[in-house]
Amino acid sequence: MSFDKYILVTGGAGFIGSHLVRKFVNNYKNYFIINIDNLTYASNIESISDLEGKPNYKFIKGDIADKSLIKKIFNQFAIDSIIHLAAESHVDNSIENPLIFVQTNILGTINLLEEARLKWSNSKSSHLFYGISTDEVFGSLNKNGKFSESSPYLPKSPYSASKASADHFIRAYGNTYNIPYIISNCSNNFGPNQHVEKLIPLTINNILNRKKIPIYGDGQAVRDWIFVLDHVDAIDIIFHQGKIGETYNVGANTEKNNLNLVKEICLLVDKKKNTSNSEDLIQFVADRPGHDMRYAIDSTKIMNQLKWFPKTNFEKGLNITIDWYLEKFS
């Protein structure tokens, strides 16, 4: 059976990756999707178990930092596109152990770029290295303004520094070796199948277990939220219609400070579970070192040029997310 494209998706058992892989496998039968994931604590292979046995899908357990494995995959499959999501992503963990973030986020990215350089240099086929990045590479905003594609990189944590480095290497390989690339920087994702260490599922889980809900500092740090399936739609559109060498910011223009978000979740869970006073579980804890106070993404470019728009407003997405976790945790 022949396919029009052989796409290597890294991190395809993770939160965003699992939703993306499912969409591509089910919607693009003419694409063969190779999903590599190291199945670390934040991955969930069960979330994509329904894809096993599909004729256009192959899962490989492995580490993108393993250079010999990446070479083997490129030798086994005629990879013409890479959608690179694999990353260590929890800021707190990066503060505790930054070297793991260097290993996966920087060296892993370079391994992929190197193999693409070697395999694609004499090929006449069309190729794409698509790096999925974060708004955290831009640092922190004051009360006004938003991050645009031309905002300077000012990472403040080992995590954001590792992602910034990966972005720089992708651009460097594009400029030096003519690797066709696109980068997108997205705001905070939420939705079903996110690991419980993240703020929204952690809050839901702690409410159900009547455990304290930790909030850093005074809870006034602001994040710009986007429902995960809207991000997946943006990745899809950028992959197919994005311009080589360009960067696209992806966000849903939904800013929430952490305290108000947690209170909103408390009220919704109390209503759905017929509980009460979950706000009393909120506990302020010492602020994270180097904590960025505000993120906000300007998505004008992707909206104007590629006609992508978020479809799920925050309230709807939050209800979907809470209902999913209530079923999972019950």
Q: Is 290 left (phi over 0), alpha (psi -120 to 50) or beta?
A: left
Looking at residue 124, what is its pLDDT? Answer: 63
Looking at residue 125, what is its pLDDT? Answer: 75
Region 100-107 average pLDDT:
95
Residue 268 or residue 91, greater confidence: 268
Looking at residue 41, what is its pLDDT? Answer: 87
Looking at residue 329, what is its pLDDT? Answer: 86
Active site (annotated) includes residue 57:
no
To the nearest whole number, what is the mean pLDDT of the chain? 96
Q: Which of 63, 88, 135, 292 is catalytic?
A: 135
Looking at residue 100, what is its pLDDT? Answer: 92
Looking at residue 308, what is its pLDDT? Answer: 98
Indicate the residue type of 111.
N
Looking at residue 81, what is its pLDDT? Answer: 98
Tally of domains in the chain: 1
Q: Kindly state whether residue 91 falls inside one of the protein's structural domains.
A: yes
Q: Is the C-alpha dihedral spanning 201, 203, 206, 208 positive or negative? A: negative
Q: In terms of C-beta density within 10 A (0-12 exposed, 13-18 middle, 19 or more buried), how is residue 280 classed? A: exposed
Q: Kindly state whether residue 146 falls inside one of the protein's structural domains.
A: yes
Q: Kindly state whether residue 141 falls inside one of the protein's structural domains.
A: yes
Region 92-120 average pLDDT:
94
CB of 183 closer than 8 Å to CB of 234: no
- Can you give the three-state secondary structure of the chain, one letter per residue? CCCCEEEEEECCCCHHHHHHHHHHHHHCCCEEEEEEECCCCCCCHHHHHHHCCCCCEEEEECCCCCHHHHHHHHHHCCCCEEEECCCCCCHHHHHHCHHHHHHHHHHHHHHHHHHHHHHHCCCCCCCEEEEEEEHHHHCCCCCCCCECCCCCCCCCCHHHHHHHHHHHHHHHHHHHHCCCEEEEEECEEECCCCCCCCHHHHHHHHHHCCCCEEEECCCCCEEEEEEHHHHHHHHHHHHHHCCCCCEEEECCCCEEEHHHHHHHHHHHHHHHHCCCCHHHHEEEECCCCCCCCECCECCHHHHHHHCCCCCCCHHHHHHHHHHHHHHHHC
Q: Kindly state whether residue 31 falls inside one of the protein's structural domains.
A: yes
Looking at residue 60, what is its pLDDT? Answer: 98
Q: Kindly state whether residue 213 falls inside one of the protein's structural domains.
A: no
Q: What's the pLDDT band for 91 if we cut at 50, 70, 90?
A: confident
* Residue whose C-alpha is closest to residue 266's, from 219, 304, 305: 219
Q: Which of 6, 159, 173, 295 is catalytic?
A: 159
Q: Kindly state whether residue 114 falls inside one of the protein's structural domains.
A: yes
- Provide the domain limits for residue 124: 5-190+226-252+296-310
Listed range (46-55, 87-96, 221-230, 255-264) with the worst mean pLDDT: 87-96
Q: Kindly state whether residue 153 falls inside one of the protein's structural domains.
A: yes
* Residue whose C-alpha is closest to residue 154's, from 138, 169, 136: 138
Region 118-129 average pLDDT:
88
CB of 122 closer than 8 Å to CB of 174: no
Active site (annotated) includes residue 224:
no
Region 259-285 average pLDDT:
97
Non-local (6+) Cβ contacts of 237 within 8 A are 302, 306, 307, 308
* Residue pLDDT, tens place only, 293-306: 999 999 999 999 99
Looking at residue 290, what is its pLDDT? Answer: 81
pLDDT at 330 over 90: no
Non-local (6+) Cβ contacts of 263 within 8 A are 279, 282
Active site (annotated) includes residue 248:
no
Looking at residue 289, what is its pLDDT? Answer: 86
> pTM of the prediction?
0.96
Q: What CATH number does the domain containing 177 carry?
A: 3.40.50.720
Q: Which of 63, 80, 136, 230 is catalytic?
A: 136
Q: Kindly state whether residue 286 falls inside one of the protein's structural domains.
A: no
Looking at residue 93, what is its pLDDT? Answer: 86
* Residue pLDDT, tens place only, 64-77: 999 999 999 999 99
